[in-house]
């Protein structure tokens, strides 16, 4: 197993720079999730670690060895692709053993490893089927098995769960989490789904428009976002933002600012939390009941904010409501998106 | 309801069936019938003679020669044309930069009429003024009279045929190669496969349906070649380029031996059928669909 050190990596396709000086270091055994909206460059970064793309500048080191121009097969990495990329003309067993055969691993050893990983993944009954005969979830497991049997130094995942239906995705997410706890392999996992990122990651690296916005533990990003983008991207429903100006005399920042607060820091009554701040009166636009609580969309001073209502009785559409907020949970962001 | 829709189906099929019936099925049956008859060339009277035509065929050394020529022609056209077009398609697929230009270039011969193409090759092969012998002459080699030399005529026609048909195969191979997902090749690369191994273990197996289709069509085309042979050598020299089809043509339209020619047509049909069935059999184990 190995650490991965990405240092000031840039990537241009033609004249377009899609990654700007990305630096990220991943410890041995760590599970790092690269998360960001689609098109922000996650796959490109992952492919450079895999060796399928070459950085325009900067270095990538695996196990303290710079691998920029090393072909993929010498890097000791295995990758799980979004659409599985299983060889359709080979059986599951052949898919799993293909890499080992090419590496001239002893055939008994191949047998052993294929059996071992297929048992871990619960696909031992399907070894003689072709990928076309498997369900989405089973294909996904085979794709992971193909990575596992090679016992790579680093696992790379490119949105491996995004082709599964919602239920299966949650199930596989849990399994993946348990699997990582068991295997303890260095992993880089790409997703656009922040819930996946939050639940799987030791550390999350949030990417936006080819830059790393913030790297940190999941809760750290949630509780202490450094930029407006991170604040809006992490957490569902998304953080509320209200544009405005700060009128205090202490140290007024230049330009307008934006105040952000999460739905769970707001209240529809004054009771409960300490030091609640009255935000204003509004009108209910939409109620999304989820059982124990509801997300109430309130139109307030021309903007819509989402409020988490914990009471037993939820307001109804068009109801007039008053909104309070926990003042310690407000984040202020500058024009350029940075935290104040 | 059910009756209505099957009536509609027959109605829609009717024009196609009519054309096929008149111009394919009826003549085919007719030549099958004729192959058992002796047809007088001038009175058009015909008599049933059983397998006599077939006996004549199989006793004729010329016919066996044309079988041999056809077989060599098949080997000399199908194999080089498949290998070459596959190699070119794989190269073009890996270098998309020139792909459009080169694809058009290779497709050009397909678009030219076969008589035009044959005329072109007549100029190239001309023993004194031809381009090929000029080049050989520059290199200090005395080129043969390609189309008149029994050792070279068939090869010369095969080269022209391959040149003419390669573009068609390239188009199909390129389409097949484009359909192979990039991730599969990348997965193989990560699995440690060299470019060669990726080609043999991933790309070619996935291309096998296309390979199969193209080879079936190539074999049929080759067995039916006529135009280029007629123009380049007219079956000569000494019958060295007289294929089954060309022999058939001469028996039917030069010697007016309609019955005999019909039996040749039946034999050719059986051969093509056999070759195709053989290919389908071979394909069963080796062709991977999706
Ligand atoms: N081979 C390529 N050629 C040109 N542009 C590319 C190529 N691959 C990716 N891009 C561009 O780079 C950006 C990042 O792409 P990608 O890494 O796939 O994003 P993500 O995986 O985060 O959705 C996108 O704008 C995409 O259009
Ligand atoms: Mg991507």
Q: Does B154 touch chain A (CB under 8 A)?
A: no
CB contact under 8 A, A72 and B206: no
Beta-carbon contacts of B54 under 8 Å, excluding residues fewer than 6 positions away, are: B35, B263, B267
Residues of A in contact with B184 (CB under 8 A): 85, 87
Substitution target from B176, B186, B189, B190 for chain A, most A beta carbons within 10 A:
B190
In testing the pocket of ligand 1, which one of A39, A197, A207, A209 has its CB within 8 Å of the most ligand atoms?
A39
Q: Is A232 domain-assigned? A: no
Helix, strand, coil shares, percent, chain A, to 5: 30, 35, 35
Give the closest residue to A35 by CA, choosing from A238, A193, A269.
Answer: A193
Structural domains present in chain B: 54-283 (1.10.3720.10)
Residues A114 and A176 placed together within one structural domain of the fold: yes
How far apart, in whole angstroms, are the C-alpha atoms of residue A221 and residue B93?
A: 45
Q: A25-47: buried (b, 16+ CB within 10 Å) or exposed (e) per residue?
A: ebeeebbbbbbbeeebbbbbbbb
Mean per-residue pLDDT pooled into runs of 10, chain A (340 residues): 92 94 94 95 95 94 92 92 93 95 94 93 92 92 93 93 89 89 91 93 95 95 93 90 70 74 86 74 90 89 87 83 87 86
Cα dihedral A30, A33, A34, A37, rounded to 10, equals -170
Strand order in the sheet with A320-325: A266-267, A320-325, A277-289, A294-300, A303-309
Residues A34 and A106 placed together within one structural domain of the fold: yes
Any ligand 1 atom below 6 A from CB of A205: no
pLDDT at residue A12 in the model: 95
Q: Does A112 touch chain B (CB under 8 A)?
A: no
Beta-carbon contacts of A145 under 8 Å, excluding residues fewer than 6 positions away, are: A92, A96, A114, A117, A118, A121, A123
Residue where a domain terminates, one of A202, A227, A252: A227
Beta-carbon contacts of A216 under 8 Å, excluding residues fewer than 6 positions away, are: A203, A204, A224
Domain that holds residue A208: 4-227
Q: What is the mean pLDDT of chain B?
A: 90
- The CA-based angle A295-A298-A303, given to 5 degrees, is 125
Beta-carbon contacts of A273 under 8 Å, excluding residues fewer than 6 positions away, are: A267, A326
Residue where a domain terminates, one of A227, A252, A281: A227
Q: Is A234 domain-assigned? A: no
Residue with CA closest to ligand 1 atom 20:
A39
Q: Is A233 domain-assigned? A: no
Beta-ladder partners of A259: A242, A332
pLDDT at residue A326 in the model: 86
Helix or strand run (H / E) with residue A284: strand A277-289
The ipTM is 0.85
Quick: pLDDT tens for B184-225: 999 999 999 999 999 999 999 999 999 999 999 999 999 999
**CB of A239 closer than 8 Å to CB of A261:** yes
**CB of B149 closer than 8 Å to CB of B232:** no
DSSP string, B33-98: HHTTEEE-TTT--EEE-TTHHHHHHHH-HHHHHHHHHHHHHHHHHHHHHHHHHHHHHHHHHH-HHH
For residue A22, the SS3 value is strand
How far apart, in whole angstroms, are the C-alpha atoms of residue B62 and residue B236?
A: 12
Residue A338 DSSP code: B
In testing the pocket of ligand 1, which one of A11, A13, A191 has its CB within 8 Å of the most ligand atoms?
A13
Substitution target from A80, A98, A101, A103 for chain B, most B beta carbons within 10 A:
A98
B290 pLDDT above the threshold of 70: no
CA distance readout (Å), A157 to A6, A129, B59, B151: 17, 24, 70, 61
Residues A182 and A131 placed together within one structural domain of the fold: yes
pLDDT at residue A279 in the model: 82
How far apart, in whole angstroms, are the C-alpha atoms of residue A90 and residue A129?
A: 8
How far apart, in whole angstroms, are the C-alpha atoms of residue B244 and residue B225?
A: 9
Residues A75 and A202 placed together within one structural domain of the fold: yes
CB contact under 8 A, B201 and A98: yes
Chain centroid to Cα B9, Å, comes to 34
Residue with CA closest to ligand 1 atom 21:
A43
How far apart, in whole angstroms, are the C-alpha atoms of residue B37 and residue B25?
A: 19
From A328's Cα to the closest Cα of chain B, the distance in A is 48
Give the closest residue to B117 by CA, choosing from B243, B241, B244, B229.
Answer: B229
Beta-carbon contacts of B33 under 8 Å, excluding residues fewer than 6 positions away, are: B262
Residues A141 and A264 placed together within one structural domain of the fold: no
In a 10 Å sphere around its CB, with 0-12 CB exposed, 13-18 middle and 19+ buried, how is residue B277 labelled? Answer: exposed
Residue where a domain terminates, one of A173, A206, A227: A227
Low-confidence winner among B33-37, B152-156, B158-162, B235-239 (lowest mean pLDDT): B235-239
For residue A154, the SS3 value is strand
Residues A192 and A325 placed together within one structural domain of the fold: no
Lookup: tokens for B44: 């058009």
Q: B251-263: buried (b, 16+ CB within 10 Å) or exposed (e) per residue?
A: bbeeeebbbbbbb
- The CA-based angle B97-B102-B108, given to 5 degrees, is 155
In percent, the amount of chain B with pLDDT more than 90 equals 56
For residue A267, the domain's CATH number is 2.40.50.140
| Partner residue opposite A81 with nearest CB, options B183, B197, B288 | B183
Chain centroid to Cα A182, Å, comes to 21
Q: Does B181 touch chain A (CB under 8 A)?
A: yes
Instruction: Determine how many CB atoms are found less than 10 A away from the CB of residue B195.
Output: 12
Residues A305 and A192 placed together within one structural domain of the fold: no
pLDDT at residue A292 in the model: 83
Average pLDDT over residues B59-70: 92
Average pLDDT over residues B109-127: 89
Residue A294 DSSP code: E
Q: Specify the pairing of strand A203-208 against strand A294-300.
A: unpaired
Ligand 1 atom at minimum distance from A207 CA:
22
CB contact under 8 A, A52 and B188: no
Q: Specify the pairing of strand A154-158 against strand A77-80.
A: parallel
CB contact under 8 A, B191 and A81: no
Give the closest residue to A62 by CA, choosing from A52, A44, A53, A50.
Answer: A50
Instruction: Count A/B contacts: CB-CB distance under 8 Å.
Output: 59
CB contact under 8 A, A98 and B288: no
Q: How many domains does chain A have?
A: 2
Q: Is A339 domain-assigned? A: no
Residues A216 and A262 placed together within one structural domain of the fold: no
Give the closest residue to B169 by CA, choosing from B101, B45, B77.
Answer: B77
How far apart, in whole angstroms, are the C-alpha atoms of residue A71 and residue A83?
A: 23
Q: Rounded to the nearest whole angstrom, what is the distance from the C-alpha of residue B129 to the centroid of ligand 2?
A: 61
Q: Does A52 touch chain B (CB under 8 A)?
A: yes
pLDDT at residue B94 in the model: 86
How far apart, in whole angstroms, are the C-alpha atoms of residue A305 and residue A279?
A: 11
Quick: pLDDT tens for A50-105: 999 999 999 999 999 999 989 998 999 999 999 999 999 999 999 999 999 999 99
For residue A306, the SS3 value is strand
Q: Does B201 touch chain A (CB under 8 A)?
A: yes
Residues of B in contact with A88 (CB under 8 A): 206, 288, 290
CB contact under 8 A, A83 and B183: yes
Lookup: tokens for A166: 């919602």
Residues A190 and A125 placed together within one structural domain of the fold: yes
For residue A8, the domain's CATH number is 3.40.50.300
DSSP string, B86-151: HHHHHHHHH-HHHHHHHHHHHHHHHHS-HHHHHHHHHHHH-TTT-HHHHHHHHTT-----GGG-TT
**CB of A333 closer than 8 Å to CB of A231:** yes
Query: Hey, CA dihedral for B200, B203, B205, B209, is it positive or negative?
Result: negative
Helix or strand run (H / E) with residue B2: helix B2-20
Any ligand 1 atom below 6 A from CB of A191: no
Q: Is A235 domain-assigned? A: no
Write down the pTM of the prediction: 0.84
Closest-approach residue (CA) in chain A for B203: A87
Residues A249 and A186 placed together within one structural domain of the fold: no
From B281's Cα to the closest Cα of chain A, the distance in A is 18
Residues A78 and A206 placed together within one structural domain of the fold: yes
Residues of A in contact with B209 (CB under 8 A): none
| Binding-face residues of A in 171-210 toward B, CB within 8 A | none
In a 10 Å sphere around its CB, with 0-12 CB exposed, 13-18 middle and 19+ buried, how is residue A107 labelled? Answer: exposed
Residues A206 and A280 placed together within one structural domain of the fold: no
Q: Is A136 domain-assigned? A: yes
Any ligand 1 atom below 6 A from CB of A258: no
Quick: pLDDT tens for B33-63: 988 988 887 777 888 888 888 988 899 999 9
């Amino acid at each position: 197993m190995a650490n991965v050190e990405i240092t000031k990596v840039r990537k241009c396709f033609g004249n377009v720079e899609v990654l700007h000086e990305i630096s990220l270091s991943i410890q041995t055994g760590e599970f790092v999730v690269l998360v960001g909206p689609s098109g922000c460059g996650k796959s490109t970064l992952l492919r450079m670690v895999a060796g399928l793309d070459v950085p325009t500048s900067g270095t990538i080191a695996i196990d303290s060895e710079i691998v920029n121009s090393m072909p993929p097969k010498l890097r000791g990495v295995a990758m799980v692709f979004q659409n599985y990329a299983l060889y359709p003309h080979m059986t599951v067993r052949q898919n799993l053993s293909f890499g080992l055969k090419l590496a001239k691993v002893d055939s008994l050893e191949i047998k052993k490893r294929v059996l071992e990983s297929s048992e871990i993944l619960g696909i031992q009954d399907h070894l003689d089927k072709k990928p076309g005969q498997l369900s989405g979830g089973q294909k996904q497991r085979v794709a992971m098995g193909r990575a596992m049997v090679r016992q790579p130094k680093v696992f790379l995942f490119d949105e491996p769960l995004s082709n599964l239906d919602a239920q299966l995705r949650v199930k596989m997410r849990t399994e993946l989490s348990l699997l990582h706890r068991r295997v303890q392999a260095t992993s880089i996992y790409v997703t656009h789904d922040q819930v996946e990122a939050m639940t799987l990651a030791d550390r999350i690296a949030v990417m936006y428009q080819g830059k790393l916005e913030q790297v940190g533990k999941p809760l750290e990003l949630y509780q202490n976002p450094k930029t407006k983008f991170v604040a809006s991207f992490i957490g569902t429903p998304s953080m509320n933002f209200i544009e405005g100006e700060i009128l205090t005399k202490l140290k007024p920042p230049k330009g307008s600012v934006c105040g952000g607060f999460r739905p769970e820091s707001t209240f529809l009554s004054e009771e409960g939390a300490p030091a609640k701040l009255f935000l204003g009166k509004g009108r209910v636009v939409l109620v999304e009941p989820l059982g124990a609580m509801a997300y109430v969309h309130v139109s307030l001073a021309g903007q819509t904010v989402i409020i988490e209502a914990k009471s037993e009785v939820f307001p109804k559409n068009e109801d007039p409501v008053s909104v309070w907020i926990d003042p310690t949970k407000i984040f202020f962001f500058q024009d350029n998106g940075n935290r104040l | 309801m059910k009756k209505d829709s099957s009536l509609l189906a027959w109605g829609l099929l009717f024009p196609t069936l009519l054309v096929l019936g008149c111009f394919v099925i009826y003549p085919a049956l007719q030549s099958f019938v004729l192959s058992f008859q002796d047809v007088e060339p001038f009175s058009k009277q015909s008599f049933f003679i059983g397998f006599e035509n077939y006996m004549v065929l199989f006793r004729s050394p010329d016919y066996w020669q044309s079988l041999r020529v056809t077989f060599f022609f098949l080997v000399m056209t199908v194999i080089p044309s498949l290998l070459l077009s596959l190699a070119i398609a794989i190269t073009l697929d890996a270098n998309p930069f020139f792909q459009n230009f080169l694809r058009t270039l290779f497709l050009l011969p397909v678009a030219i009429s076969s008589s035009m193409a044959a005329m072109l090759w007549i100029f190239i092969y001309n023993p004194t003024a031809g381009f090929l012998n000029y080049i050989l002459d520059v290199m200090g080699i005395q080129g043969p009279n390609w189309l008149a030399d029994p050792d070279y005529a068939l090869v010369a026609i095969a080269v022209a045929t391959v040149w003419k048909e390669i573009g068609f195969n390239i188009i199909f191979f390129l389409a097949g190669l484009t359909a192979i997902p990039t991730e599969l090749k990348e997965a193989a690369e990560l699995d440690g496969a060299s470019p060669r191994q990726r080609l043999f273990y991933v790309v070619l197996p996935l291309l096998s349906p296309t390979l199969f289709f193209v080879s079936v069509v190539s074999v049929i085309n080759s067995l039916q070649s006529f135009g280029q042979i007629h123009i380049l050598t007219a079956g000569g020299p000494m019958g060295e380029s007289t294929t089954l089809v060309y022999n058939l043509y001469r028996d039917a339209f030069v010697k007016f031996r309609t019955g005999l020619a019909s039996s040749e047509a039946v034999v050719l049909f059986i051969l093509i059928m056999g070759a195709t069935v053989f290919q389908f059999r071979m394909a069963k184990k080796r062709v991977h669909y999706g």
